[in-house]
C-alpha cells in the first residue's frame, strides 16, 4: 500500500512546512493541486514557493504539483486522486491534508497503520481540535465535524463535502487521535474572513455576515459562536491553554511565538 498526501494549495502557507514535516515519515509522496481560489479574491496564494522549498529540503519524498483551472475544491480533490491512482496504483490511499492541519508526533503513522489494518473501508475520518484567533484558544468540547483524512483511490466514496457528511461506502472514525486544526490562526487576520467565505459548511448553511465585527474581538469570552447560521453550538466555548500546553512542534514556529508574546502582554 502506498500512502500519499493529497493537498490543495492556496492560503495557509505559514503552516505548510510543519504540516508536511509532521506527516513525512508516514507518507510515500505528496500530490498538491494548485487551482483557482474557491471565491473571487485579491489575496494571492502563499503556498507554492514554500512547497517547492520543502521539496528541495526533502529530496527523498516525491512531490508532484498539479495545476488546474478549476475553482471547485471537490473537482481539485478528484483531480489529485486520479493522479495518485495513476502514479501509485490501485492500492494507493490518499491522506487528505490541508496546509493548516497539524498531526502530532507519530499520529500520521498511526493513521497509516489503521488504514493498512482496515483495507475494506472506503475512508477514515478523524476528530479534531479547533483553534480560534490564537494557538492558546481551543474550542471546547471538540466540534462534531469529523473531516475525511484517508481515502483509498478506488473507494466508492465521493470526495466532496469533507466536513459535512460521511458520504458513500463504509467509513470509520480513527480512535483516540485528534488532528489539530489551525485554520483560524493566521499571521494575517484578513485570511480569517477569507477562510469563512470558503468554508464547506457554508455550502449548507449561510454565514453570519457580521461575525467578524460582532464576535472576533470578544474571543475568548464567547459561547455558541460558530460563524454559520444553525451551527452556533458547534463552537460552544473557548478554553484558554497555557503556553506549555501547546504542542511543541506548533510552539516552535516563530509567528506562533510572537502571538504568544502578544497574549502575555495583554494579560499583563
How far apart are the C-alpha atoms of 120 and 193, rounded to whole Å?
39
1-268 has which CATH code? 3.90.550
The DSSP line for 143-210 is: PS---EEEEETT-SS----TTT---SS-EEEEEEEEEEEEEE--SSTHHHHHHHHH-GGGGTS-B-TT
- How buried is 12 (Cβ within 10 angstroms: 0-12 exposed, 13-18 middle, 19+ buried)? buried
For residue range 14-28, list pLDDT tens digits in order: 999 999 999 999 999
Helix (H) or strand (E) holding 7: strand 3-9
* DSSP state string for 210-229: THHHHTGGGTTS-BS--SBT
pLDDT in tens, 96-137: 999 999 999 999 999 999 999 999 898 999 999 999 999 999
Q: What is the pTM of this model?
A: 0.90
Amino acid at each position: 500500500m502506498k500512502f500519499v498526501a493529497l493537498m490543495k494549495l492556496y492560503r495557509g502557507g505559514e503552516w505548510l512546512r510543519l504540516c508536511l514535516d509532521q506527516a513525512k515519515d508516514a507518507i510515500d509522496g505528496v500530490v498538491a493541486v494548485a487551482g483557482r481560489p474557491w471565491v473571487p479574491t485579491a489575496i494571492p496564494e502563499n503556498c507554492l514557493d514554500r512547497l517547492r522549498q520543502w521539496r528541495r529540503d526533502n529530496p527523498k519524498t516525491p512531490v508532484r504539483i498539479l495545476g488546474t483551472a478549476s475553482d471547485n475544491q471537490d473537482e481539485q480533490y478528484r483531480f489529485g486522486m486520479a493522479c495518485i491512482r495513476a502514479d501509485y496504483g490501485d492500492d494507493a490511499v490518499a491522506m487528505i491534508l490541508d496546509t493548516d492541519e497539524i498531526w502530532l508526533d507519530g499520529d500520521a503513522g498511526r493513521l497509516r497503520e489503521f488504514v493498512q489494518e482496515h483495507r475494506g473501508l472506503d475512508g477514515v475520518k478523524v476528530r479534531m481540535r479547533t483553534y480560534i484567533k490564537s494557538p492558546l484558544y481551543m474550542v471546547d468540547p471538540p466540534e462534531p465535524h469529523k473531516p475525511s483524512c484517508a481515502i483509498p483511490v478506488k473507494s466508492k466514496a465521493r470526495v466532496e463535502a469533507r466536513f459535512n457528511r460521511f458520504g458513500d461506502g463504509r467509513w470509520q472514525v480513527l480512535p483516540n487521535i485528534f488532528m489539530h486544526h489551525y485554520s483560524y490562526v493566521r499571521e494575517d487576520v484578513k485570511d480569517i474572513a477569507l477562510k469563512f467565505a470558503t468554508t464547506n459548511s457554508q455550502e449548507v448553511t449561510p454565514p453570519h455576515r457580521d461575525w467578524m465585527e460582532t464576535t472576533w474581538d470578544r474571543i475568548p469570552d464567547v459561547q455558541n459562536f460558530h460563524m454559520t447560521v444553525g451551527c452556533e453550538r458547534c463552537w460552544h466555548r473557548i478554553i484558554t491553554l497555557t503556553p506549555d500546553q501547546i504542542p511543541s512542534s506548533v510552539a516552535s514556529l516563530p509567528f506562533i511565538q510572537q502571538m504568544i508574546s502578544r497574549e502575555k502582554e495583554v494579560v499583563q
